[in-house]
Amino acid sequence: MAAWQVISGGVTAPKGYRASGIVAGMKPSGLPDLALIVSDVEAIAAGVFTTSYVRAACVDYCRQRLEAKAAARAILCNSGQANAGTGSQGWDDAIASAQAVAQALGCEADAVLLASTGVIGQRIKMEQLQAGVPKVVAQLSETGSDQAASAIMTTDLVPKVCALETQVGDRPVRMGGIAKGSGMIHPNMATMLSFITCDATVSPHIWQEMLGRAVDKSFNQITVDGDTSTNDCVIALANGQSRTPAITAMNAEAETLEAMLTEVCMILAKAIVRDGEGATCLVEVTVSGASSDEAARKIARTIAGSSLVKSAIFGRDPNWGRIAAAAGRAGVPFSQDDLRISLGDTLLLDYGQPLPFDRAAASAYLTAAAESSDPDANTVQINVGVGSGTGHGVAWGCDLSYDYVKINAEYTT
């Protein structure tokens, strides 16, 4: 039984948070495009960011702010323009954005963190953003999480929101999150943003370490198309408003909190892949028997990210040879005589030996997953064994459809 329960409220479920999302006029579509999350008090802040050498101004801005002080009051996110590849003007726009929020909230500019998403090479429409900041501040609400989740979307079809509650000591602790992402999704990280709020009291270094491990097991284990972007970030705030004892070292309470943080990240990560551009199903790849968990995760990521595997799943073709080939090129040593592959309940390869199987039934399994509206039934399960080691890892991907090319061919037009 899980040590937490699912609750409603997203990023405003924990105590002491408000959020909002508005139409500021930065998106040509006229959809919501400016989101704000605010803690009533200064919160401990942690962040994990893209590993790309081409980064948006907001990524460098947040890194600098968090290195100087691991605390924040607010997160502002605009959608429509990525503000990446925009040179010194993009940096100036980031500084001006933080200053506008600080003035409206009555806090210091270094208490404001930033995120942007949209077309690379386009500066933020600063006139619209600066006019929108007072409005997004005025609409802050303890029930504003859904509005914020909608305002950070670009090609997403649905918002990604979750919240959980657990007990630390004898008091409830809540954690909520929102995310965006649909394409340019690949480990390290992807075109994804996620903002997580929590009302526990945690030491800065513990919170950062927890977030790093949670991201490695979730957002760094998803792939849609093999592309990593310029703006990716996961920012997590912990404001202490649950009034629970401070977590200053890894103990039982810390493990409970980290498990819940990892679960929030996994829920949001899988929601991103499920909403992959043109996707018809989620693909979950589980690898066991590796020499270490990281080795297993690497094999799983390689299989989930294989264009040939993804194309076969879209074509409802149980072509296990593509799975075997992807596992073999992951850069993790194993004996092919130990390789086992299952698709759903159907064992296709057993200790390196191909098995006869009902191809029509296996294809029907893939078809049923693609056509199901149930999140559990909409998932294709691929299980791979590579030996007798204790390493275990999971990665998530989606199929690769014709619509993926159409969506991305028309993205800036």
Residue 223: Cβ-neighbour burial (10 angstroms; 0-12, 13-18, 19+): buried
What is the average per-residue pLDDT within 251-275? Answer: 92
Cα separations (Å) of 109 from 72, 168, 179, 233? 10, 33, 24, 19
In this predicted structure, the answer to whether residue 412 has a pLDDT above a threshold of 80 is no
Q: Which of 154, 166, 72, 62 is nearest to 114 (CA)?
A: 62
Residue with tokens 């590993």: 51
Selection from 94-108, 143-157, 393-407 with the highest mean pLDDT: 94-108
Omega before 260 cis (within 30°)? no
Whether pLDDT at 2 is above 70: no
Q: What DSSP element (H or E) covers 255?
A: helix 252-274
Which residue, chain included where needed, has tokens 């040509």?
28
201-220 pLDDT, tens per residue? 999 999 999 999 999 999 88
Closest CA to 195 of 175, 209, 169: 175
> Of 161, 147, 139, 162, which Cα lies nearest the Cα of 79?
147
Pairing of strands 233-238, 282-290: unpaired
Quote the strand ranges of 188-232, DSSP E. Answer: 193-198
CB 231 within 8 A of CB 122: no
Taking the C-alpha atoms of residue 185 and residue 394, their distance in angstroms, rounded to an integer, is 16
pLDDT band with cut points at 50, 70 and 90 for residue 76:
very high
Contact of 178 with 193, CB cutoff 8 Å: no
Burial string for 263-302 (b: 16+ CB within 10 Å, else e) reads bbbbbbbbbbbbbbbbbbbbbbbbbbbbbebebbbbbbbb
Which strand (E) or helix (H) includes residue 9? none
Task: For residues 92 and 162, give the distance between their C-alpha atoms in angstroms, rounded to a whole number.
Answer: 34
Amino acid at the residue 345: D
pLDDT band at 1 (very low <50, low <70, confident <90, very high): very low
Domains of the chain, each with CATH number or no CATH:
4-273 (3.60.70.12), 282-409 (3.10.20.340)
φ and ψ at residue 264, rounded to 5 degrees: -60, -45
Residue 155 to residues 78, 191, 272, Cα–Cα distance (Å): 14, 11, 11
The dihedral built from the CA positions of residue 248, 251, 256 and 262, taken in this order, carries a sign that is: positive
**How many whole angstroms separate alpha carbon 383 and alpha carbon 286?**
5
Structure confidence by residue, pLDDT tens digits, 118-134: 888 999 999 999 999 99
Over residues 255-272, the mean pLDDT reads 94
What distances in angstroms separate CA 211 from CA 38, 87, 112, 345, 355, one per listed residue?
19, 30, 19, 34, 42
Q: Which of 50, 117, 154, 191 is catalytic?
A: 191
- State if pTM tops 0.75: yes
Rounded Cα–Cα distance for residues 9 and 37 (Å):
13
Extended strands (E) in 120-274: 160-168, 171-180, 193-198, 233-238
| pLDDT for 139 | 98
Q: Which residues contact 386 (CB under 8 A, 6 or more apart)?
A: 287, 288, 289, 290, 296, 299, 327, 332, 334, 338, 339, 340
Q: Bridge partners of 78?
A: 34, 116
Mean pLDDT, rounded, for 148-168 = 92
Told to judge if 191 belongs to the known catalytic residues of this protein, a careful annotator would answer yes
Mean pLDDT calculated for residue range 231-238: 94
User: At 408, is the pLDDT very low, low, confident or very high (cuts 50, 70, 90)?
Assistant: low
Predicted confidence at residue 367, as pLDDT, reads 94
